Amino acid sequence: MAAINSDLSVIGYTFEDIQAMASEVLKHSTLRPKIGIICGTGLDGIAEAVENQTVVSYDSIPGFPVSTVKGHSGHFVFGTLQGKAVLLMRGRLHYYEGYPMWKVAMPVRVMKAVGIETLLVTNAAGGLNPDYKTGDLMVIKDHIDLPGLTGECVLIGKNDERFGPRFLATNGTYDKDLRQKFMEVVAEMGHADIIKEGVYIMIGGPTFSSTAEVRVLRMFGADAVGMSTVPEAVVGRHSSMRVFGVSLITDMVDFEDGSQFQVTHDDVLKVAHQRAQLMKKMFLKFVQFID
Ligand SMILES: O=P(O)(O)O[C@H]1O[C@H](CO)[C@@H](O)[C@H]1O
């Protein structure tokens, strides 16, 4: 009798599958972008600024999973930002949608196969650091992969070395020069007061954290909590991309027992929409500095 889980081929897309999806995406445009952007919940305002747009819906790409969350529309956008070719993901995949972890970040492998070298990731997150406030932006300097630490790392499964190494060092995942440049851009725009740099912790979701849990997350050393980004950043590094991430603090978690405040997804979307124009302006300036 075959051992349980002996068929590792069921975990992950093959290199050829990813190449086929990338070819499908590339058919739609003559642009060959090197910058990829993943838009977080309600943070796809940046897509409005993309010129010469071509939209490729995820469901038109054979084998590509679809986004199911409000605030994630589910398509790639090819175009130019400040004259630079970019590929945006308007809509990401989350573990809590029911996708296995290896599927959550497969679009990053497709992006790599398309030619993306620099990956810019945004997300909406809850603030754990008491010095933060709603509406702040946190440049991610490091992350805590809580699912990964508990056995749900995005790189679990058969490894094809054409994607990257079996064992990956994840310290230094977030590119120092890009972090510094983004901070400078934001400061030059007169918004130094809302920009922070900190540690993002990923939880599986879809539950927002309990009071006891947020205390643990803070004790772990995290400054913001969310349900995404880490698998994408890890796969980005695995694919030798330069990775940059920024969190919009859409709510401040409450450490008090018996607190009446309960965050909702609509609260998250509301703050994301309030900050959409500003984030768009920041990214327009930022991309100018990316080679
Ligand atoms: O991380 P993004 O996709 O920005 O979304 C964040 O917002 C949603 C919760 O409101 C969760 O999906 C959380 O991860």
The CA distance from 252 to 205, in Å, is 17
Q: What is the pLDDT of residues 198-241, one digit of tens each?
A: 999 999 999 999 999 999 999 999 999 999 999 999 999 999 99
Is the minimum distance from the CB of 112 to ligand 1 under 6 angstroms? no
| Helix or strand holding residue 237 (H, E) | helix 230-238
Residue 124's pLDDT is what?
98
Residue 2's pLDDT is what?
39
Is the minimum distance from the CB of 226 to ligand 1 under 6 angstroms? yes
SS3 of residue 242 by DSSP: strand
Q: Considering only CA atoms, which of 121, 135, 128 is closest in space to residue 268?
A: 135
The CA distance from 236 to 199, in Å, is 18
Residues 6+ apart with CB under 8 A from 107: 38, 64, 89, 92, 93, 232
The pTM of this model reads: 0.95
Residue 54's pLDDT is what?
96
Is the minimum distance from the CB of 92 to ligand 1 under 6 angstroms? yes
Give all domains of the chain, ordered by start, each with its CATH number. 8-289 (3.40.50.1580)
Which ipTM did the prediction report? 0.99
Is the minimum distance from the CB of 209 to ligand 1 under 6 angstroms? no
Residue 10's pLDDT is what?
60
Residue 7's pLDDT is what?
57
The list of the chain residues with pLDDT below 70 reads 1-10, 72
Residue identifier of the C-alpha nearest atom 14 of ligand 1: 227
Residue 206's pLDDT is what?
98
Residue 201's pLDDT is what?
98
Residue 260's pLDDT is what?
82
- By DSSP bridging, strand 195-202 and strand 118-127 are unpaired
Residues 6+ apart with CB under 8 A from 167: none
The CA distance from 25 to 19, in Å, is 10
